[in-house]
Amino acid sequence: MPSERPWLQFAEWAKSYGDIMHLSVLGKSIIILSSPKAVSDLLDKRSSNYSDRPSLPMAGDLVGYVDSLPLCAYGRRHREMRKLFAEVINSRTAQDLYPIQERKTQQFLSRLARHPLDARKHIRWLIASIVFKISHGRDVADVQDPLVTLADQATSDFGDATVPGAFFVDMLPVLRYVPDWMPGTRWKSQAREWRNTMQKLRDDAYDDIVRKVAEGVAAPSFTASLIEENPHRTLEQDNIFRWASVGLYSGGADTTVSAIESFFLSMTLYPDVQRRAQDELDRVVGRTRLPNFGDRSHLPFIEALIREVYRWNPVSPLALPHVSTSDDVYDEYYIPAGSVVIGNSWAIMHNSEVYPEPMKFTPERYLPPHKEGLNPDPRAFAFGYGRRACPGERLADDSLFIVIAMTLAVFDIHPPRNEAGSIKRVNSAYTASAISHPVDLECHITPRATTTEKLLAAIASE
């Protein structure tokens, strides 16, 4: 079982062994799916049999995420949490969130104009400010906000804890009982450290809102609504609300940050794509105002660019594992109950038979004329599968649109320059974590024209 970037090794094996591979690791059956058809047929169409999660002793039991939406067992708890998310993030309520997303993105542009070398920091602030405004009614001043710092650390820890093969205890659960003093058990103290961070993130902000609701001073938010509408909640309900509250951020913020970082990186590498997107914005929106959500349906190239951001380097290259609850037969393969089933999203979105020349960033692949079977919408693979798909997909997708559209309307994104003003080589490498980020995010950002400078000045003065 490869422990670093397993999605790449699985993709290579799939070339020899096919789109459905079976691994046996210490007697455990692991099924790797590497085609759109396989993940659709099993994880989507047969989701009633493939919606549970396997036991992940490191991330689930030792770190403590066993009750979180991503890792909790399929059943009543899982359905209740998804229902809570669906009430705040759905096609009907999405428009209610547009003003928050547009205003925060305008502030992001202003920050980027003042400090263009700090793009990565501004991106993290932007997503934190959007999500925490919705989830906790909290205005985030900067990325040094204690809640943001805590959430980012916990999210990073979760990504490290869930990489398949990274911790042997996930393959041999009995190792959790090994005494801490034995050599080679550094991972146990690591788990305790991560658990402390997780508990502080889950409880501190929630308890603060409980107090504010009792005092009648809580700002409107998803969490405040849960508490206000359930004054006599049971301990189980309270635990669900705690996880739902923190889940809005921890479940999707880092992935959205990763997607936006990939957008900035791709623009430094593909200037022709950037110019075509800007030409469309100038033609449809003009240069006297910023684009808004009402423009989206009139911006097909921007929409195609968003799809390519999802595909080019998936934010989650390897989907979290599912587990089969009953024996199954698929395409002459016998899949025993209890098998771990993993969708290799990276392999699917870099399959040259599905996406020709997959290593190139080519938004045009999604524009007419379409060829049947080629270039499907990568959002079908970017947010997980079946009943385990990310419930925050709509919020993340809307945020990505408004950031890309507004940024390209007012800025040019160039490769980085050294102190002498010469263009530096762009580092296109990505991290090996479960949530993949560009290793470096260096770019040279400048306002496009006098009219956009006036727009930025107007935003800054508000």
Binding-site residue ranges for heme: 390
Kindly give the residue spans of alpha helices, DSSP state H, lying in 271-349.
Answer: 271-284, 300-312, 345-349
DSSP string, 40-90: IIIIITTGGGS-B----IIIIIISSGGGSTTTSPTTHHHHHHHHHHHHHSS
Q: Evaluate the omega torsion of the peptide bond into residue 369 and state whether it is cis, within 30 degrees of 0.
A: yes
Helix (H) or strand (E) holding 198: helix 186-215
Binding-site members are 390
Q: CA-to-CA distance for 199 and 423, rounded, in angstroms?
A: 45
Half-sphere exposure of 73 (CA within 13 A, CB side): 6
Token pair, residue 362, equals: 């080519």
Q: CA-to-CA distance for 208 and 349, rounded, in angstroms?
A: 42
Q: CA-to-CA distance for 31 and 24, rounded, in angstroms?
A: 9
191 to 88, 199, 242, 456: CA distances (angstroms): 32, 12, 21, 45
Three-state DSSP state, 322: strand
DSSP string, 271-282: HHHHHHHHHHHH
